[in-house]
Structure 1
Amino acid sequence: MSRIPAADSVAGSPSAMRSVWSSPLYRGATVALFLSGLGASAAAPQITLFLVDDLHVSLTTAGLYYLTSITAPVAGYLIGARSDRTGKRLGLFRLCAVAGFLGWSAMAVSDQVWMPFVISAVVLAFAGAAGSQLFAALHDDLKATASPVGDGIVSIARMAMTAGWIVGPVAGSLLATAAGPRAMLVATGLCTLAQIVPMGFARTPSAPSGAQSAAMSEGTAEAPGSRTPGQHPGIREMLPLLAFTGLYVLVYAGEPIKYGYLTIYMNNDMRLPTAVSGAVIGIQPLIELILMPVAVVVARRIGMLRLMVFGAAFGVVANLCFALTGSATGMFAGQILMGGVWGVFAGLGIIVAQRLLPEAVATASAIFMSSPAIASALGGLTGSLGVGMFGLPHVFLAPALYGLVATVGIAVMSRSRHAVG
């Protein structure tokens, strides 16, 4: 397993901020990722209501919609592999953004039950790869310029995406209430398409394509077992990335369970005032945004994977708070700890993934960024079965167990990287 260097810059440092502001590529990617988070998070909480209220499907059938996200990793892998072969990151990004606009617009005019399911599984699966192409483009440019604040720039771009996820649910709810869910879906499509605007005609250094690689390697003897640059990595080379992504899925699986059942538990069982339960839900992204730049600082000192061991452990304790405390204080404590989880993983996860497969960063980015789709399916299934078997709030013991496995697994990865130097 290859060694992952510690972060070498501070996300909140003036130099990183100046670099983002002065570069059309970095600035455009940051704005585009904000729009991506804004659009996706505006639609996510409203989809079930749209299916139930407008297409008149049952709650059980509506819940099956989230299983369509299982195609996203396949689409992401195909886009990532194509990107690594051709090096055309931003061209594929623009195609994915257009696919997102067409998909959400088609969703808005759907009048048959099957249509949203097919659109999500086939079209929107490819739209989700847009963000991974931006991160791959950032990686290429940062590598070409040898920026000393590269990790800070990536973290700032990731923070912009998180900020979009903070604003989006509120904006989507207000628009759906005022103009209806179909208008909200059209607005989501426009947000997806609008990602192209801040990027303008930006260019980035291309990864070597197959033809370029052949020219580069012509007349050069390869060492036994080496891989031609531009050739797609095999499964063995991808194992560290796949292992890390699988552990990340276990960490993330608690999120759909939490968003599906924590509000119900606080409102129906704990009888908390609406203002209090709303504050509990809202405190996590605030803590996350505050801690993301701090995580880069700490990772610089102790290493990314070592810090992620603590992040995963925070998730275990957070879910135990949800499952066992039964008080508003426990709910706040759990959400603050979850803010710590995502302050670490949201800021650093994409960097770790790219460094685990440095010869195919678009593939690495696509695989890692499609992991929430797998986690949503796992969490949705776990929550559905867990509520029936254990009830509220003990369903949260399941994500605590997932988090414990992830904590141990990341700790093993951290030790392994030092063992191989």
Structure 2
Amino acid sequence: MSRILAADGVAPTPSALRTVWNSPLYRGATFALFLSGLGASAAAPQITLFLVDDLHVPLTTAGLYYLTSITAPVAGYLVGARSDRTGRRLGLFRLCALAGFLGWTAMAVSDQVWMPFVISAVVLAFAGAAGSQLFAAVHDELRAGAGSVGDGIVSIVRMAMTAGWIVGPVAGSLLATAAGPRAMLVATGLCTLAQVVPMGFARTPSARTPSARTPSARTPSARPGAKTPATSEARTEISAVRPGPHPGVRAMLPLLAFTGLYVLVYAGEPIKYGYLTIYMLNDMRLPTAVSGAVIGIQPLIELILMPVAVVVARRIGMMPLMVLGAAFGVVANLCFALTGSAFGMFAGQILMGGVWGVFAGLGIIVAQRLLPEAVATASAVFMSSPAIASALGGLTGSLGVSLLGLPLVFLAPALYSLVATIGIAFMSRSRHAVG
């Protein structure tokens, strides 16, 4: 495979893998995002059970917990804007990781109904910005010169988070069963805090004005074209973002449009995880092993396709590939809604693996390129979209089930994905198209 890619003029994936392994920043970000995905996915399926069983919250009220995620975009924007003004990516990353530890630990000791809701809306909203700061730091480092493997590096780092989401739900379920949900929440907090360990003592210096960052200021013997000894910190300093006017709403419109379309694609996930298993077990009467295999095949396909998506995007462009990915979402949800067979469920999940193989691997790259003068803000806004999609999907699923029932509720995310397909196709032909 490597020989074929080399013959086509495409940098083979192992080159990106070596680059990630040899760089303390890339390697640390990869392990940190795996821990982030592991912790978040361990807690996500258990939160409702904790609220109902331990705090005795009514089931209808417990469902409102997911609406607390709507504060995450605001917190992410504030952190991203601060990061773009100062250039201190990793300092803010560590503060966000600490906020996550404090938030999950506080939730574990909660004894009042209101406490998890307030903690999630106020504290954990900032914890979610940790990942966006890592992607911004990776972007800064890539500007120092990663050649043609830059997109592959970002894809590998993003794949680590996906891998964490594969392992986390199983680990969280086992821990909650063995030691209780409060112990599981504490473990989630420890995973969140442990993100800082792989990053070591790496730091990004304060952004300075261009005049204060001339080559002569860094090394007296520097001359145009000369290469200076490059430690990881030195390279980060060279590529650190310089402060400037924060982009206004007009400059952010392409990013906001793309993020909104991504939300429409993502909104089907909470609907699927909330109702597909129930539909397969209660209505289709599929064996538990079969329904589990249906759910588990999506992340496997996603991991396989993420590096493939990078290679294909170099040939046809990122936005045209995302049009195809969003169209996969339309067909996948139609499979869930209309087929009524195990084959249809597997086909739908395989197609959903294609959706996320494209969007998970390339989405953050597109978002940063749509706002290159403020990549931390772009990363934070884009990575807050799952929180908005969770609220939209939860509300749509609740109303859809009452109006349409199962499995026709999946027509709603099919419609969302159709709108996203049309919207991304329009963006791909506009002046904001990303190659």
Larger RCO (alpha carbons 8 Å, 6+ apart): 1
Q: CA offsets per residue over residues 64-117 of structure 1, 9 Å max, x none?
A: 000000000000000000000000000000000000000000000000000000
Q: Which amino acid counterpart does residue 329 of structure 1 have in structure 2?
A: F
Distance in 2 of aligned mates of 1:114 and 1:132: 28
Structure 1 78/50 Cα, relative in aligned 2: closer, same or farther at 3 Å? same
Q: Is the 8 A contact 2:370 2:434 kept in 1?
A: no
User: 1:322 and 2:336 equivalent?
Assistant: yes
Distance in 2 of aligned mates of 1:229 and 1:272: 57
- In the TM superposition, 1:72-87 aligns within 5 A as 72-87=72-87
Q: Is the 8 A contact 2:333 2:414 kept in 1?
A: yes
Q: Is the 8 A contact 1:12 1:152 kept in 2?
A: no
Q: Is the 8 A contact 2:370 2:432 kept in 1?
A: no
- In the TM superposition, 1:249-398 aligns within 5 A as 249-398=263-412
The offset of 1:145, in angstroms, is 2.8
Distance in 1 of aligned mates of 2:434 and 2:141: 28
Partner of 2:184: 184
Q: Is the 8 A contact 1:266 1:277 kept in 2?
A: yes
| 3-state SS in 1 of match to 2:198 | helix
Q: Is the 8 A contact 2:86 2:243 kept in 1?
A: no
The offset of 1:148, in angstroms, is 2.9
Distance in 2 of aligned mates of 1:389 and 1:214: 63
The offset of 1:12, in angstroms, is 6.5
Partner of 1:165: 165
Gaps of 5+ in 1: 1-7, 217-227
Partner of 1:225: none
Structure 1 147/90 Cα, relative in aligned 2: closer, same or farther at 3 Å? farther
Partner of 1:405: 419
Q: Is the 8 A contact 1:11 1:153 kept in 2?
A: no
| 3-state SS in 2 of match to 1:145 | coil
Question: TM-score, normalized by length of structure 1?
Answer: 0.92
Structure 1 139/95 Cα, relative in aligned 2: closer, same or farther at 3 Å? same
Partner of 1:110: 110
Structure 1 140/70 Cα, relative in aligned 2: closer, same or farther at 3 Å? same
The offset of 1:204, in angstroms, is 4.4
Identity, % of aligned positions: 89
Stretch deviating more after TM superposition (269-278 or 144-153): 144-153
Q: Which amino acid counterpart does residue 57 of structure 1 have in structure 2?
A: V
- In the TM superposition, 1:35-54 aligns within 5 A as 35-54=35-54
Structure 1 419/130 Cα, relative in aligned 2: closer, same or farther at 3 Å? closer
The offset of 1:404, in angstroms, is 0.2
Distance in 2 of aligned mates of 1:378 and 1:372: 10
Distance in 1 of aligned mates of 2:143 and 2:434: 24
Gaps of 5+ in 2: 1-7, 214-241
Distance in 2 of aligned mates of 1:10 and 1:39: 35
Q: Is the 8 A contact 1:155 1:347 kept in 2?
A: yes
The offset of 1:201, in angstroms, is 1.0
| 3-state SS in 2 of match to 1:199 | coil
Q: Is the 8 A contact 2:294 2:346 kept in 1?
A: yes
Q: CA offsets per residue over residues 291-322 of structure 1, 9 Å max, x none?
A: 00000010000000000000000000000000
Q: Is the 8 A contact 2:258 2:424 kept in 1?
A: yes
Q: Is the 8 A contact 1:10 1:296 kept in 2?
A: no
The offset of 1:203, in angstroms, is 3.1
RMSD: 1.9
Stretch deviating more after TM superposition (361-370 or 148-157): 148-157
Partner of 1:240: 254
Q: Which amino acid counterpart does residue 71 of structure 1 have in structure 2?
A: T
Stretch deviating more after TM superposition (194-203 or 275-284): 194-203
| 3-state SS in 2 of match to 1:62 | helix
Distance in 1 of aligned mates of 2:331 and 2:202: 44
Distance in 2 of aligned mates of 1:322 and 1:166: 22
- In the TM superposition, 1:119-138 aligns within 5 A as 119-138=119-138
